[in-house]
Structure 1
Amino acid sequence: MADQSRVRRGASSACRSSDARRGRRVGLVLAVGTLGLAGAEPARAFDLFGLFGGEEPPPAPSPAALPYAVRFQGVEDEDLLRALRDTSSLERLRAEAPPDGEGLLRRAEADLPRLLDALWGFGYYDGRVSVRIEDVVLGGDAAARSAVRAAEAARNRTLVAVRIAVDQGPLYRLRTLAVRDPAGRPFGPDAVPPRLTRVGDDEAARSAAVLAREARLVDHFRAQGHPFAKVLRREPVVDHAARVMDVAFVLDPGPAAALGAVTVRGTRDLDPAVVRSFIYAEPGDPYSPQALAGIRRSVARIEALGGVRVREGEALDPDGTLPVFVDVTERAPHIVGASARYSTVDGPGVRAYWADRNLFGGGETLRIDADLSYLGLGTDYYARRRRLAGIETNGLGGRLAATFVKPALFGTRNDLLAGAFIGREVQQSYVSDAAGGTLALRHRFGDAFSVQAGIEGRAGSDRDALGRVDYGLVGLPVGVTYDSTDSLLDPTRGVRLTASVTPYPGVLGSDPGLLLAKAQGSTYWALDDEARTILAARLGLGSVSGAGLAEIPASLRFFAGGGGSIRGYSYRTVGPVGPYNLPIGGRSLIEGSVEGRIKLTDTIGVVPFVDAGTAFASSLPDFDERIRVAAGIGLRYYTGIGPIRVDLAVPLNPDKALKQPPVALYISLGQAF
């Protein structure tokens, strides 16, 4: 014990003197080492495929300057080498040759402490760095003069050879983490859970690891309602005999606070009451960063807004609450867009839209969409079968639709939704001509949960292998939406659920009288703290009852297959098959998917997946139809707006009576579900 104490005291004095010099160095390392890493990553991500060539070569020898070549030696850790290069001014300024040997010497001498800091920042506290100019190792005045002469001797002849020799030494590990309040008292397990200070047996004593622990501690206290929590200082102690580092954090949690008044700023043409209706946090609610993130996320759903910044006050109000400021910027009110597409199954198509995102100053959105498609150009496998069934079409389809949303009626959390459409839908197995409209009221209980109810009317004529159905329907749709996920395009946790029931009763004039029900849910589990491995699952159900299969319009029946359903199978082709081997859809549906979303790097991921399901002729799944299964592998490229998805899927047990592609490729933005 006495020997160990002496080692620890020796280590402590070595860290706090010079014999105190090393203590200051440890503190510096915790910043410098991390900066080296931060500088490396964006460049590496930007040049992911090496499109911009290698490093810029130094200038050629000349009478006016002393260009040089730098080589690092003795570094086995690639991340460390990258950090050393980013830290070194000799490396960074190679293209700007110094005018003389003195200038080169100053660069080299300035590099030595920086490189040592970077080395220690990676946990190599016994490491050493030396710089050689030509054949002269720097160290002392005599060596400095010799190095200058050696550099000048290369003028206008050759590049000056600069060698940076690194002796990494052993990698130190992190032994203990302690957290104390400003008075020096340790926090109890109720205030600081043991998981925040637990250290693995082989955890390297790197600056990035220490700073990450510090950030987690601050985040923990902020999440417990302490908005001004901060680490006052960190006290690292290196024990060279044991090759370990102990770190103590002195943390001031600050006062606990509740949310105070929320002030909305920056609205110009938009009524601020609309913004307030999307803020579900109330004064007096407990403070947490999640609460502020929730405010930003919900306010950002207002289409009239382009930017949302939620800022907490710098001090508590006299009543002990924390004021919150929501700064917004408005978008240009009008938007016009167009897109084109091509599918080997569905043929080509074009789409255009126009929208006003603040029609009357209350955040009202009016959007008009026009879509034109053509099922042909050699892609229509079912064309001959449709002709045999008497379903005549030239392959042209289109839809014109208008939607209107008035959010925050009278400043409440109620939204008015209206829509109308007219169009022709041409699918592989049916043609539908229809027009209709909806009027609904939606109530938002919070950012995650809403319900809506309304009235819907539609009339049309559908033709498929079972014949022609002329219909007129008046329905009373009721729906519920719940979404607790953390991202629209790339969720890593939470649940999504949508469910709706629409009765089309005969007493309202519906012919035929129907009851249509749909539900879909998905859930996401992160299997590690950094959410680099996600298990995602989806289940979809549907049922229509009240009439026989042949009496139900084909466009209201259920079909499976396609990119949003069972990948690997053609769109809307999985389910019951009728005359002429044409899919006729079903009165019920069950389908599901399971994915493993695995990030290999910050920008690249792979996704193995399995999809399964089918439609049934009965109004509830009776499993008379065979469940169709597909499997595949996906590639994800993660961008700032969401992942780019490329999925390759293979149908495992296709219906031999229907032609299915042996493999299907899907490319889109965002995850499959």
Structure 2
Amino acid sequence: MSKKSISHCAIVGGLILPVALFASSASGTLVRDLEIAVTIEGVDDSDLRGDLRALSVVINRDEEERFTALAPLRRAVASDAQKMKQALLSLGYYAATVEPKLTRAGLDVDITYLIAPGERFEITDYRIDYTDPQGEARPASLSEIPGLTLDGDPTGDRLKGLGDKLISYLWNNGYPRAEIRRDYVAANFGAGTASAVYDVTTGPRASYGDIRVSGNERTKDSHIKAYFREDEGALYQRRAIDAYRDALSRTSLFREVSVQPAPPLEGGRTDLLVEVAERPHRTIGGGLSFATDVGIGATASWENRNTFRGGELLSVTLEASQPEQQFGLLYEDPLPRFPGAWNATALFLNEQTDAYEAVTGKVGTGIERTFREDRLRLSANIQYTYSDITDLSDPDFPEGRSETVQFLSFPLRAQYNNADDELNPTTGFSAGATVTPFVGDLQFNRVTLSGATRHSFGEDRFILAGRGLVGATLGASGTDLPATERFYAGGGGSVRGYAYQEAGPINIETGNPTGGASITELNLEGRVMVRENIQLAVFADAGTVFESETPDFSGDTLVGAGIGVRYMSPIGPVRLDVATPLDRRRLTGLRPNDEGDLVEQTVFQDDVIQVYIALGQPF
């Protein structure tokens, strides 16, 4: 190789080495991170100092956020200082200053935020500056708005909240176009006081005009308009618009509802623009359940929620299990301006239980009034009942005692429910009271009180739920009542661990439940989410029925306990409960042996385990 060639290679080698060193530097091998120490000075309040530290990127950097040069570090420090100052201003320290200082010695960098918050200002005046010439019935200051507390708090959240209430007041007093264009604080640094100023535009004062409906394919315009409670020409109120939209949403007729004010016309008249998207009005449903005491149960339903284009509901239901089969019809006609509904019902029921066998027909009609966004419901009904009954609990009639009864009943109900979900409630409570006079073959009055509540903890991971029921019959004791009109306890929706209708007095001779004229039930359940879709439950249920007209607690209260698993499916919780009676009853009486002879025998009345599978929480 010639000298020229050697010299050329040396030059190439000299270029390669610096490039390699640069690459090594870029990967962090040769460049070390700066050692950073941060101090905040001038803030004595530990809570305020902690809040300011939480804003700093430099203080709260993680292992991946490294500084190897001063330039990016200076930019981060300056950004921190600006955020700290903005935070102090939002807390009412309008004269606050934040001065960052940075010193370096080798790789060690000391950063100091010199903060002078000054005194916290007080808001002494709340001013509204209107930017348009409209002037009728507009408040000149926040102090003129009823119910608004002005406490001098200078924080940004408080001033924003007052601005929101100002706009809400204007919306509800005839100004649908009201908005805050700008808000700011004018500070008097010498006095330590300030004025909160809201620049507002309202547009003209408006009253309700016509309602213009679009998007409806089947539902009548008149039905949609009927849910609006205000009269044409009344002063515009935003709360009435919100209530109108919510009422339309609760009809289940629409998947989307929009209600907006149109631009005010001459004289302030404002039409309402209602746009809806309808849901399918016909639905078919079905379900299966299982319990060891009643076997497999099945339900099927069909409904049309807009039968005659006015939100009328027509539904057909079929339910079948080993002890009970029923066919039900319901027609409900909404009364939006009432508000409420009128209904007509028919029910055909065949029951074959251990207590009795019966074929029953019921027809009735009633009216319901709703309040508080349909959470409170009051109803009055009249119902005719015909039953052909074979009572199997009377020891004097081993083959059953037959009777036919007819009644007119007048159920009066009050029900309140603010639970957050129908199938899987996590918060809220329900309470109900029903008084039902009966006239016919026997006259008596029935009263029931019920309630349920849930309390959630840990972002709904833990839920404690409870349910209670008390019932009484005034004017007749248990044996006087037809078997179909007595109270019974026991089963998956009552006292779990005891078989259907068997959590109460048992006829010693027949082993069949006798029912009673009064009842008490109490259920407690704890639920915990252990996986995203899996919930475990432990529960204890107690209850019994009484021969007396009102609960006298003279007999034993039966208690069952158990555990459960719920799978949170898209259609609701699928529930599996396993329960056991805590006191298995023994009955001694004359019973046929294998040869058919009656001999005295002692047997367990209650099984060791009962299993229940169903959709939805028990309460």
The TM-score range, normalised by the shorter chain, is 0.5 to 0.7
C-alpha distance in 2 between matches for 1:308 and 1:333? 14
Residue by residue over 1:111-148, the C-alpha shift from the partner in whole angstroms, topping out at 9 and shown as x without a partner, is xxxxxxxx96xx982324289xxxxxx99xxxxxxxxx
Q: Does the Cα contact within 8 Å between 1:475 and 1:504 map onto a contact in 2?
A: yes
What's the TM-score, normalizing by structure 2? 0.61
Q: Give the secondary-structure state (helix, strand or coil) at the position aligned to 2:41.
A: helix
Cα 1:349/1:523, change in 2 over 3 Å: closer
What residue is the counterpart of 2:278 in the other structure? 330
Structure 1: runs of 5 or more not aligned? 16-21, 27-118, 132-137, 140-174, 198-212, 234-249, 376-396
What residue is the counterpart of 2:60 in the other structure? 125
Residue by residue over 1:427-455, the C-alpha shift from the partner in whole angstroms, topping out at 9 and shown as x without a partner, is 23321111120111112234222211121
In the TM superposition, what is the alpha-carbon distance from 1:620 to its structure 2 partner? 0.2
What residue is the counterpart of 2:523 in the other structure? 593
Say whether residues 1:560 and 2:502 are aligned partners.
no
In the TM superposition, what is the alpha-carbon distance from 1:615 to its structure 2 partner? 0.8
Q: Does the Cα contact within 8 Å between 1:574 and 1:615 map onto a contact in 2?
A: yes
Q: Does the Cα contact within 8 Å between 1:308 and 1:326 map onto a contact in 2?
A: no
What residue is the counterpart of 1:486 in the other structure? 420
For residue 291 of structure 2, the aligned residue among 343, 355, 358 is 343
In the TM superposition, what is the alpha-carbon distance from 1:559 to its structure 2 partner? 0.8
In the TM superposition, what is the alpha-carbon distance from 1:277 to its structure 2 partner? 5.3
C-alpha distance in 1 between matches for 2:241 and 2:461? 25
What residue is the counterpart of 2:511 in the other structure? 581
What residue is the counterpart of 2:101 in the other structure? none
Say whether residues 1:419 and 2:345 are aligned partners.
yes
Cα 1:646/1:553, change in 2 over 3 Å: same
What residue is the counterpart of 2:300 in the other structure? 352
Q: Does the Cα contact within 8 Å between 1:306 and 1:330 map onto a contact in 2?
A: yes
What residue is the counterpart of 1:269 in the other structure? 218
What residue is the counterpart of 2:451 in the other structure? 521
Cα 1:6/1:354, change in 2 over 3 Å: closer
What residue is the counterpart of 1:363 in the other structure? 311
C-alpha distance in 1 between matches for 2:199 and 2:575? 43
In the TM superposition, what is the alpha-carbon distance from 1:309 to its structure 2 partner? 3.6
For residue 612 of structure 1, the aligned residue among 542, 550, 553 is 542
* 493-502 or 451-460: bigger deviation: 493-502
What residue is the counterpart of 1:402 in the other structure? 329
For residue 377 of structure 2, the aligned residue among 447, 450, 467 is 450
C-alpha distance in 1 between matches for 2:272 and 2:93? 27
Structure 2: which amino acid aligns with 1:401?
G
Residue by residue over 1:513-536, the C-alpha shift from the partner in whole angstroms, topping out at 9 and shown as x without a partner, is 2222222112334456x4544433
Cα 1:179/1:641, change in 2 over 3 Å: farther
Q: Does the Cα contact within 8 Å between 1:615 and 1:625 map onto a contact in 2?
A: no
In the TM superposition, what is the alpha-carbon distance from 1:260 to its structure 2 partner? 8.5
Q: Does the Cα contact within 8 Å between 2:291 and 2:492 map onto a contact in 1?
A: no
Residue by residue over 1:469-506, the C-alpha shift from the partner in whole angstroms, topping out at 9 and shown as x without a partner, is 3201112221112223333233344331222212112x
C-alpha distance in 2 between matches for 1:571 and 1:555? 14
C-alpha distance in 2 between matches for 1:340 and 1:372? 10
For residue 307 of structure 1, the aligned residue among 231, 244, 255 is 255
Q: Give the secondary-structure state (helix, strand or coil) at the position aligned to 1:581.
A: coil
What residue is the counterpart of 2:464 in the other structure? 535
Residue by residue over 1:553-594, the C-alpha shift from the partner in whole angstroms, topping out at 9 and shown as x without a partner, is 222111111222112222221112124121111100111222
In the TM superposition, what is the alpha-carbon distance from 1:511 to its structure 2 partner? 0.4
C-alpha distance in 2 between matches for 1:223 and 1:560? 55
Say whether residues 1:549 and 2:470 are aligned partners.
no
Structure 2: which amino acid aligns with 1:472?
Q
Q: Does the Cα contact within 8 Å between 2:291 and 2:611 map onto a contact in 1?
A: no
Structure 2: which amino acid aligns with 1:402?
L
In the TM superposition, what is the alpha-carbon distance from 1:362 to its structure 2 partner? 1.3
For residue 571 of structure 1, the aligned residue among 475, 497, 500 is 500
C-alpha distance in 2 between matches for 1:179 and 1:320? 41
RMSD: 5.3
Q: Does the Cα contact within 8 Å between 1:230 and 1:253 map onto a contact in 2?
A: yes
Structure 1: which amino acid aligns with 2:356?
Y
C-alpha distance in 1 between matches for 2:179 and 2:393? 69
Q: Does the Cα contact within 8 Å between 2:249 and 2:257 map onto a contact in 1?
A: no
Say whether residues 1:434 and 2:360 are aligned partners.
yes
What residue is the counterpart of 2:76 in the other structure? none
Q: Does the Cα contact within 8 Å between 2:295 and 2:322 map onto a contact in 1?
A: yes
Q: Does the Cα contact within 8 Å between 1:295 and 1:310 map onto a contact in 2?
A: no
What residue is the counterpart of 1:465 in the other structure? 393
Structure 2: which amino acid aligns with 1:465?
S
Identity of aligned residues (%): 25
What's the TM-score, normalizing by structure 1? 0.56
Please say which structure displays the higher CA radius of gyration: 2
Q: Does the Cα contact within 8 Å between 1:585 and 1:617 map onto a contact in 2?
A: yes
Which is strand-richer, 1 or 2? Answer: 2
Which is helix-richer, 1 or 2? Answer: 1
Residue by residue over 1:219-275, the C-alpha shift from the partner in whole angstroms, topping out at 9 and shown as x without a partner, is 997998799999999xxxxxxxxxxxxxxxx99998999998687653332234544
Cα 1:559/1:599, change in 2 over 3 Å: same
For residue 564 of structure 2, the aligned residue among 634, 638, 644 is 634
* 276-285 or 588-597: bigger deviation: 276-285
Q: Give the secondary-structure state (helix, strand or coil) at the position aligned to 1:648.
A: strand
